[in-house]
Structure 1
Amino acid sequence: MTTEHSAEVDLDVTNVAHGGVSVARLDGRVVFVADSLPGERVRARISADDHSSFWRAETVEVLEPSPHRRPHIWADAALERDPARRAGGAEFGHIELPWQRELKRQVLVDSLGRFGKLPEDHPARGVEVEAVEGDDAANGLGWRTRVSLHVDDDGIVGPYAARSHRVVAVDTLPLATAAVEYASPLDERLSGAERVDVISDGRRGARVVVRAEGRTAGAGTPITERVGEREFRLEELGFWQVHHGAAATLSTGVRDQLLEGEFDADAPNLDLYGGVGLLAAAMATRFGPATRIETVESDRRATGNAEFNLRDLKAATAVTARVDRYLTNRLKNATAEERGGFSRASVILDPPRAGAGKQVVASLLEFRPAQLVYVACDPVAFSRDLGQLTAGGYELRSLRAFDLFPHTHHVEALAVLTPAS
């Protein structure tokens, strides 16, 4: 059967796929269907016909709904809007919260098996996706402390339409905190602008930063975030977890998951992709202010803030460097005594969505620390790295997963690995 571009077809949706879409088949070809749920029968519009192995489609009508379907939490992203005008950023917004977490669990576990080569009987495959405190009571709304909006040639401000770079006008931002939503210039025209970032100021308000033709207009002063008893200074456009409870959740997770029996406070411990020092501080909170820890981050402004944020930890240092180059140079120049110290070290790594990658993982295998604490924001990239680590002689000791992005397909994982015995 030949299916023309934009043809409408009826599909039986079978399972969930990575990326916030579900899977169906048409004449033996895989179809990735947006705005659907496993177990549903939907009418969908084929939106791309340029792949030899699969098509993409957008749901236009639900013929047989899943019992887990709910009215979309964002009218601007709901089925009632034409697919070309549906706002992106809430691709699970039509699914009840507990089932969103189940689907995320399925994607994570499937990735662990397919890319991580984790055996079916491994305890980590029984992982559950944990909610952040307060999210269930809020129905997963009002958690984003940072929002990036785009501006089209007519000055209209809004998010991109799902799976596109086309700006769509919206009336609300239900995933944003009240302060961020209130400050967002959704009803304004910003001619000449390219992007608008609306950022919580770390307290009760929000800042609006407008980027236009290489220029950035905004306050420009740093933001102070508080996690537990510690404050963290960061640039207003610098990286920080977007969920208001994510930094505390990950700090607690890292602190609790570090294996005390494998830890040496005097070893050359590392926090790779360390940002402004959040997870290095978590390690020091667990094992004391004399803990030796070095954060490595390619953004010099983040490194400067990490140095400031960890100033009370006398054995903490911060280095501006690409992680791959840092590890290569560290290994190349290490003395025999220093290499011996590596085997006593604990290493935290929180790489970007693409994962650590083959070169960094290869260096870590040569570094061979006593324990690796891997914070992952993409299950496939993490599982690929995990496969390389386990093939290189490490074993997965524990795994937790957190729903830091309700109503989206994203899930955060926190793993601890040690050399296989």
Structure 2
Amino acid sequence: MTPSTEVLNWTDRVLEVEVGAVAHGGHCVARHEGRVLFVRHALPGERVRAVVTSDQGGSFCLADAISVLEASPDRVPAPCTWARAGGCGGCDFQHVAPAAQRSLKTAVLREQLSRLGGVESEVVVEELPGGPLGWRQRIRLAVDEDGRAGLRAHHSHDVVPIADCLLAPSEMLPDLLEQSWEPGSEIDVAVDDSGWRHVGTGTHQHAAGRDWALSPGAFWQVHPALADTLVGVVEEWAQAPRGGTAWDLYGGVGLFAAVLAGQVGTDGSVTVVESSRDAVLDGERALRDLPQVRFRVGRVEHAVGSLPTPDVVVADPPRKGLGKQMIEALVAAAPQRLVYVACDPAALGRDVGLLTARGYRLRALRSFDAFPMTHHMESVALFTL
């Protein structure tokens, strides 16, 4: 192979770089010899030595900062010993002061909205109560080939054995991490509102003024303050008319349907569409006192064509967002108001562009730091015709 056709591969090379702006995904951008490096464990303005961890031979590669030559004033010691290059992949920002974490997320969200959605926004990622540690109510542990439980490395199936996770409430994990488990298995651990721990079983939570009995694996927000925070925003923005029709898409157990039901009243209707049959059964039990709420089991894109014409839609899709096909279906249904709950700023930015191109206006936007120490955030957008 001649030099001109040889595939470039910098894997395992250690490079000294100046770190630039934060990027979506928990990285910061650096450049070396005409190529882009997406560097974890770094901060804008720093000078670091970084080891290349993945290189597919294109215009960019991935790297981890392994030593800091010039530190940002926002850098702090990571409280967790496993939050480092080559360590646990769960936390991107333990080396960043909490207020600066929110500033980085705000910069990412605004950049994605501008670049992908064509919208300039003054949105700020808001702090939730509870602090940066001890907030995570649900964790899925992975078990390695030796039967040791831990968390996965960044973008890897490799299991990193740990002694604790500081994002979880104290006493949630240590004894489980000392036990031996079936190699290759996974362990779902959750803490309910009463502080009781559940291992591989369902839990009980309280939100929207009612109790929810959840089946094992049923979706629920991992930050204890987020469910009611989102309920409050949906309640304020949905404004479903009395006697009207509402959709709760990707609705899970019907958390938002409980709010919508109160707005439309017994003369209105709320249809929840959810692909998980267990979640639907949980929701039907929790909302059995609301006859105006009906559940549909199935994929949202298959169900919307047969639903009654909505006045209001609330949509909480998975990380990939709504996408073109789903947005076309929503545009055809023409709800006056769409409340969109988004957990990925890039997907939100893309969908903002698609919706505004089809006549909807972005009326309001809020974002919450529901995942401290990581690059993740939760946003809610209101669109109207």
Give the TM-score category using the shorter length. over 0.9
Match of 1:231 in 2: 211
Q: Which amino acid aligns with 1:60?
A: I
C-alpha contact (below 8 Å) 2:277/2:297 kept by paired residues: yes
The RMSD of aligned alpha carbons is: 1.8
Match of 1:173 in 2: 165
Secondary structure at 2:111's aligned position in 1? helix
C-alpha contact (below 8 Å) 2:208/2:231 kept by paired residues: no
Residue 90 (1) aligns with residue 91 (2): yes
Matches within 5 A, 1:185-204: 185-204=176-195
Q: Deviations over 1:307-328 (max 9, x none)?
A: 2222122211111121000013
C-alpha contact (below 8 Å) 1:371/1:417 kept by paired residues: yes
Match of 2:232 in 1: 252
C-alpha contact (below 8 Å) 1:180/1:205 kept by paired residues: no
Structure 1 length normalisation: TM-score?
0.86
Match of 1:213 in 2: none
Match of 1:350 in 2: 316
Match of 1:132 in 2: 128
Match of 1:274 in 2: 251
C-alpha contact (below 8 Å) 1:284/1:290 kept by paired residues: no
C-alpha contact (below 8 Å) 1:405/1:411 kept by paired residues: yes
Residue 27 (1) aligns with residue 33 (2): yes
Match of 1:15 in 2: 21
Listed as ranges, the gaps of 5+ residues in structure 2 are none
Measured in 2, the distance between the counterparts of 1:231 and 1:289 equals: 21
Match of 2:369 in 1: 403
Measured in 1, the distance between the counterparts of 2:340 and 2:242 equals: 19
State the 1:179 CA deviation: 4.5
Match of 2:336 in 1: 370
C-alpha contact (below 8 Å) 1:179/1:200 kept by paired residues: no
Match of 2:56 in 1: 50
Q: Which amino acid aligns with 1:92?
A: F
Greater CA drift, 64-73 or 160-169: 160-169
Greater CA drift, 186-195 or 15-24: 186-195
Q: Deviations over 1:122-149 (max 9, x none)?
A: xxx10111111232xxxx1001111111
Q: Which amino acid aligns with 1:50?
A: Q
Match of 1:63 in 2: 69
Q: Rate the CA distance shift 1:173–1:408 in 2: closer, same or farther, 3 A.
A: same
Match of 1:418 in 2: 384
Greater CA drift, 284-293 or 366-375: 284-293
Secondary structure at 1:77's aligned position in 2? coil
State the 1:150 CA deviation: 0.7
Secondary structure at 1:114's aligned position in 2? helix
Greater CA drift, 222-231 or 18-27: 222-231
Secondary structure at 1:303's aligned position in 2? helix
Measured in 2, the distance between the counterparts of 1:88 and 1:290 equals: 49
C-alpha contact (below 8 Å) 1:70/1:95 kept by paired residues: yes
Secondary structure at 1:74's aligned position in 2? coil
State the 1:292 CA deviation: 2.1
Secondary structure at 2:61's aligned position in 1? strand
Secondary structure at 1:76's aligned position in 2? coil
Q: Rate the CA distance shift 1:317–1:3 in 2: closer, same or farther, 3 A.
A: closer
C-alpha contact (below 8 Å) 1:46/1:56 kept by paired residues: yes
State the 1:291 CA deviation: 4.6
Q: Which amino acid aligns with 2:247?
A: L
Q: Deviations over 1:348-370 (max 9, x none)?
A: 00000011121111000000001
Measured in 2, the distance between the counterparts of 1:224 and 1:173 equals: 22
Listed as ranges, the gaps of 5+ residues in structure 1 are 210-219, 331-337
State the 1:242 CA deviation: 0.7
Q: Which amino acid aligns with 2:126?
A: E
Measured in 2, the distance between the counterparts of 1:109 and 1:401 equals: 11
Match of 1:117 in 2: 118
- The runs of at least 4 aligned residues of structure 1 exceeding 4 Å deviation read 285-291
C-alpha contact (below 8 Å) 1:355/1:376 kept by paired residues: yes
Q: Rate the CA distance shift 1:229–1:319 in 2: closer, same or farther, 3 A.
A: same
C-alpha contact (below 8 Å) 1:269/1:347 kept by paired residues: yes
Residue 382 (1) aligns with residue 348 (2): yes
C-alpha contact (below 8 Å) 2:242/2:263 kept by paired residues: no
Q: Which amino acid aligns with 1:312?
A: D
Greater CA drift, 371-380 or 147-156: 147-156
State the 1:15 CA deviation: 0.4
Match of 1:216 in 2: none
C-alpha contact (below 8 Å) 1:158/1:169 kept by paired residues: yes
Q: Which amino acid aligns with 2:195?
A: R
Measured in 2, the distance between the counterparts of 1:103 and 1:51 equals: 28
C-alpha contact (below 8 Å) 1:224/1:231 kept by paired residues: yes
Greater CA drift, 284-293 or 406-415: 284-293
Secondary structure at 1:180's aligned position in 2? coil
C-alpha contact (below 8 Å) 1:199/1:236 kept by paired residues: no
C-alpha contact (below 8 Å) 1:347/1:372 kept by paired residues: yes
